[in-house]
């Protein structure tokens, strides 16, 4: 969201209408996939080659793949959340935990995946993303932040005919041999030079880890201080053993862990502002 804000601000200084690439990932690209079910004997050799190619982008992350391998697709998606149900249950204060007992992200995803129309692994994950994080987060950010800077953003990939056509394509046309957006790249090669089509994906990634460890360290400590010492009404963390402490002592600085700390800070700010009336 932060990167989208600065990008919209920069663009609006020079133009008032921009074309965005939002939707391309959700239509064509899915790197990590839950494993396919066992293939018949006569297809084992084909499946082994396909599995080798699917794993190729994650050869340096065997532990990550091993943890996800036994899971159903909906359960696999749950494990990629910033906080799993189990982690959240350990963070809630007792009264909040009691109120939240009937809610489950894992169950929500199970029901969502049960209602998907796609059948092959790639398209099932893409459809799930297109129904959830895409409208709830990606497009919401683009819409709000572009309008905040009087910038009109057009999303070419979300043309109705394009979405309907691509959604009906089989997964192997979208991801082949470990290459994502396969069909899109093949089409792009008709109009753009190879060095543009084949270059690595580059996102607008903000240095969140550096911010939380240095420039915003005092802010993070002050925001989560009530949580660590039991003064917050929604969350509870053990003093000296919470995510904030592990981050600032260097015990863990992975991207996944930093995202947990950032989520706690944002939640606590939201809670103080809207649930506590800014107290």
Average pLDDT for the chain: 78
Name the stretches of the chain with pLDDT < 50. Answer: 1-2, 35-48, 50, 240-241
For position 104, what pLDDT does the model report?
Answer: 94
For position 76, what pLDDT does the model report?
Answer: 83
For position 108, what pLDDT does the model report?
Answer: 94
For position 138, what pLDDT does the model report?
Answer: 86
For position 25, what pLDDT does the model report?
Answer: 85
For position 23, what pLDDT does the model report?
Answer: 87
Alpha carbons 136 and 260: distance in angstroms, whole number: 19
């Amino acid at each position: 969201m932060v990167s989208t804000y600065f990008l919209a601000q920069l663009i609006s200084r020079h133009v008032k209408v921009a074309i965005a690439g939002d939707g391309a990932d959700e239509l064509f690209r899915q790197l990590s996939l839950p494993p396919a079910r066992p293939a018949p004997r006569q297809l084992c050799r084909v499946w082994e080659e396909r599995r080798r190619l699917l794993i190729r982008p994650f050869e340096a992350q065997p532990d990550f793949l091993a943890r996800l391998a036994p899971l159903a697709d909906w359960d696999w998606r749950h494990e990629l959340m910033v906080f799993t149900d189990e982690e959240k249950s350990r963070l809630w204060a007792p009264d909040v935990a009691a109120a939240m007992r009937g809610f489950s992200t894992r169950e929500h995803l199970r029901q969502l995946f049960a209602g998907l129309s796609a059948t092959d692994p790639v398209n099932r994950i893409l459809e799930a993303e297109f129904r959830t994080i895409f409208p709830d987060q990606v497009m919401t950010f683009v819409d709000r932040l572009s309008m905040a800077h009087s910038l009109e953003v057009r999303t070419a990939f979300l043309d109705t005919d394009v979405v309907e056509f691509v959604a009906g394509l089989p997964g192997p046309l979208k991801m082949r041999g470990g290459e994502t957006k396969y069909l899109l790249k093949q089409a792009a090669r008709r109009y753009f030079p190879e060095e543009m089509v084949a270059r690595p994906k580059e996102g607008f990634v903000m240095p969140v880890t550096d911010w939380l460890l240095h420039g915003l360290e005092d802010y993070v400590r002050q925001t989560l201080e009530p949580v660590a010492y039991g003064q917050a009404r929604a969350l509870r963390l053990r003093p000296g053993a919470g995510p904030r402490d592990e981050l600032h002592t260097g015990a863990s600085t992975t991207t996944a862990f930093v995202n947990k700390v950032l989520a706690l800070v944002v939640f606590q700010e939201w809670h103080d502002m809207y649930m506590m009336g800014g107290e």
